[in-house]
Structure 1
Amino acid sequence: MPVKYIVFSLSLFVSICGVAQKKESSKEATQIKAKEQFKNISLVKDSIYVLKNRGGNIGLSIGKDGIYMIDSQFENISEENLEAIRLLSDKPIRLLVNTHHHGDHTGGNDAFKMTGAMVIAHDNVTNRLQRSKKQQAGSKRNEQLEAAREKIREKVSKAELEADPKKYERMAEEAAGDLTSYMEDVANVPTITFEKALEFNFNEKIDLIHVQRAHTDGDVIVHFTESNVIHTGDVFFAGRYPYIDLNSRGSVDGAITALGVIANLADEQTLIIPGHGDISTKQDVKASLGMLRYLRDTVAFEMAKKKRSKEEIMAMRSITSKYDQQGFGDGFITTEKMLETLYLDYLQKHNITEDSMD
């Protein structure tokens, strides 16, 4: 055999071995992470578990019908989460419910759909995920369009461009391609959506309840009626100030109503999986409900009667001190951010522009 073919064969062999070793190394790394993640899976009650990692709490119901999953966290940790679940049970993951659209709850949808899971969510979750995909595609296409224009400017004289600008813009548009060609796989978009509520049997009777304009405009509470367990999504942050996403049509009033719904569903034995934080009880939810009600009403009074500015509201630590001492401001939403949200929510509720408050 000629030397050059021997060299080529050896190079190819080394290359293939290198790729195989990388894949094996990656697989081993995932398995190691999965074993670490397995330690973060806790039994809630009966056959219901919670998996904590980066992102929102994942709920798991394991039974005769397979695995029912709540939220999927981030895309880049979905593989280790999947392997961790496999260490708990080899049953198929058949259903995955998204409690809302944020990436720390929906990012892993693609990976779990690939295993055969059917994704369920509120109508607005699908709408927001699709809109986000379209915006990302638009940004990518705009980059390519500008690159195409630049190439045309390099090859065509200024006089030619000025003589027929529409012609060269059409050329750039054709070179950039259609928007749909930039749309990424929409596998993270839910398969089944609903508007108000959904009831079905999977391992046990499960109720999905939409709460309007709370954390977002697509929030869902999951109620395991027989096990007496509730997964709240980000409507409830255990022992922390809530994140109310005003840009996603969340609202303070809606968040208060949603906490009331959870409190009414629960009894003294109910175990509650929050969107973030530790397993909680009805009393924990009622404490958050009382806190949010008090802060909303106090800020509303200060703004309506005393015409407080944004800076003044955000500096009013006297009204939050009781909750700050309990650690409510130690989470993702700080005390300052909570007060700012209350201020902005008041403006939105009363159709007041921020400029008019100056």
Structure 2
Amino acid sequence: MTKLISAIPCVSLLGCCFLLGNSAFAADDRFANVEIVSQQLSPNTYMFTGSGGNIGVSAGQDGIIIIDNQFAPLAGKISAALNTIQPGLPRYVVNTHYHGDHTGGNNSFGPSSTIFAHSNVLKRLASNDKYTQAALPSITYEQGVSIHFNGDILHLIHLGAGHTDGDSVVLWDDKSVVHMGDLFFKDKWPYVDLEAGGSVKGYRDSVANIINRIGSDTKVIPGHGELATKNDLIRFKHILDESINWMEGQLITAKSLETLKQNGLPQNLQGWGWHFISDERWIETLYQDLSSKKP
């Protein structure tokens, strides 16, 4: 594995140097021990895990395509992991949405790759000065596009507002693999980014749509978590249904958000909280989104 980039040198006052140096080393330390682990799913396809969103990979006679690319400091480690499969830089990059734990490597991979994404991803990344011009998607779409690559056809599908307003799911034409992006957090409450156009019910409906498109043997790459199956995705959809139904029932009785948080989730909805989306934060997300759409 390649080493992480070193801390930015400080050329200003000693106090400034100490603060900036500590900040840079802290960033370094966060990713210093991250390993990019490769899991082969078929002769041409792989799933990479590390820190951030899971990466889908197709490698073969046409070159390499990667779906998402985690945090910026991990680009070197991702490149090294790719080179253990097949030499060369990715020819294509797909951004399943705009969040930095999925697009941070765009600055590194963009200059030698063509980046695909939904049009709203381009809008959001273009307004962020951390991304260079080469790091921005150059091929965008509204509903989807297909890439014919390495003997496969990869369908990039936008299903409407869900995790954000610019999500893409990548489905292999033979249904061998699907990359869900952050429309699937395995065994965890999902993050629905309401400020970025996300929708709780839209999220649930997108999951249901993909369940109807895949087969029982489809390997499901979640945005976060271990490799999954169709049954895992069905279980995830059911818990989304149950939590939506629960919140809608609570809204009928006009309970306040504070009361709902104090009471907590019912027993049948427990066990899905994690450090980023706790039960309390999931209650807040459900309340904020569903109460704003009451008839």
Residue-by-residue CA offset, 1:35-56 (whole Å, 9 max, x unaligned): x735x11112332111111110
Residue 265 of structure 1, CA deviation: 1.3
Structure with more of its chain in helix, by fraction? 1
Q: Is the 8 A contact 1:45 1:227 kept in 2?
A: no
- Unaligned ranges ≥5, structure 1: 1-28, 137-183, 352-358
Q: Which runs of 4+ in 1 moved over 6 A?
A: none
Q: From 174, 193, 198, give the equivalent of 1:226.
A: 174
Q: Determine the structure 2 residue equivalent to 1:280.
A: 228
Q: Is the 8 A contact 2:183 2:190 kept in 1?
A: yes
Residue-by-residue CA offset, 1:245-295 (whole Å, 9 max, x unaligned): 000010111101111112111111111000000111111111111111111
Q: Determine the structure 1 residue equivalent to 2:81.
A: 84
- Root-mean-square deviation (Å): 2.0
Aligned residues: 264
Q: Determine the structure 2 residue equivalent to 1:130.
A: 126
Q: Determine the structure 2 residue equivalent to 1:344.
A: 288
Q: Is the 8 A contact 2:65 2:90 kept in 1?
A: yes
3-state DSSP class of the match of 2:58? strand
Residue 334 of structure 1 pairs with residue 278 of structure 2: yes
Larger radius of gyration: 1
Residue 322 of structure 1, CA deviation: 2.8
Residue 347 of structure 1, CA deviation: 2.6
2:76 and 2:158 mapped to 1: Cα distance?
Answer: 29
Q: Determine the structure 1 residue equivalent to 2:158.
A: 210
Q: Determine the structure 2 residue equivalent to 1:55.
A: 52
Residue 72 of structure 1, CA deviation: 1.1
Residue 196 of structure 1, CA deviation: 0.4
Q: Determine the structure 2 residue equivalent to 1:322.
A: 268
Q: Determine the structure 2 residue equivalent to 1:70.
A: 67
Residue 100 of structure 1 pairs with residue 97 of structure 2: yes
2:63 and 2:249 mapped to 1: Cα distance?
Answer: 51
Q: Is the 8 A contact 2:161 2:197 kept in 1?
A: yes
What pairs up with 1:122-201 in 2 under 5 angstroms?
Answer: 122-133=118-129, 185-201=132-148
2:265 and 2:196 mapped to 1: Cα distance?
Answer: 29
Q: Determine the structure 1 residue equivalent to 2:40.
A: 43
- Greater alpha carbon shift after TM alignment, 54-63 vs 309-318: 309-318
1:290 and 1:245 mapped to 2: Cα distance?
Answer: 20
TM-score, normalised to structure 1, is: 0.70
1:316 and 1:293 mapped to 2: Cα distance?
Answer: 20
Residue-by-residue CA offset, 1:295-335 (whole Å, 9 max, x unaligned): 1111111112x10101122234342x33423xx11352111
TM-score, normalised to structure 2, is: 0.84
Percent identity reads: 34
What pairs up with 1:297-312 in 2 under 5 angstroms?
Answer: 297-304=245-252, 306-312=253-259
